[in-house]
Amino acid sequence: MFKIERKEGKLEITTPYSSSFVTAIKKLGGKWNADKKVWAVDEEFEDKVNDLIIRIYNHDVTGKEKVITVEYNAKDFYNSEDVVLGKRITVYRPSRDEAVKLNKTIIIENDFPARGGSAKYPTVFEYNAEYDVTLRTDLYERYYNKLTDEEKEKVKIIKKESDRDALLREKEQLEKRLEEINKLLEEK
């Protein structure tokens, strides 16, 4: 669950736990509020917080990011542990005996093995195994643009979000923000 609220010049941020997020938010002067279970940071860092959430969780809280749906073979983007596309982890395995986790990704054809790697170093595939797993991922355009030309040749664009769809999504986010502002104004 992702939530950002403005309170007295601060942003109160609720996200799932991530050590990467904790490290990054502290660099912005973020403080943990144990009572509310939120991170608090100065409002001036709102853009940086939004970028962190996109980078770490692959989640757009602003509604402004354009989405490109791509299809590709997992082995083409396998980095010996995870499947990484455009600097975003799309498939990972939390532990050797656990099923893989998909990040805004679906499996189109075939499947990953039930286990992979070792207890200390889990991997999506078993060591030295060759698998053909076709994946479909919703990727923010900023990450698609970071693909090299060689990587772009290995992906097939299934759908690129239209400007109209992106604007409708952004409008929805702005309407939610307007509701927040109206509530704050009523309280004062």
pLDDT (tens digit, 9 = 90+) per residue, 94-107?
A: 888 999 999 889 99
Q: What is the pLDDT of residue 27?
A: 97
Q: What is the pLDDT of residue 128?
A: 66
Q: Torsions phi, psi of 110, nearest 5?
A: 65, -165
Domain spans of the chain, in order of start: 3-57, 67-158
Q: Which two tokens stand for residue 34?
A: 């144990």
Q: What is the pLDDT of residue 151?
A: 94
**Ranges of the chain whose pLDDT falls below 70:** 128-130, 161-162
The per-residue pLDDT for range 85-140, each reduced to its tens digit, is 877 888 988 888 999 999 889 999 999 998 888 888 888 988 766 688 999 998 88
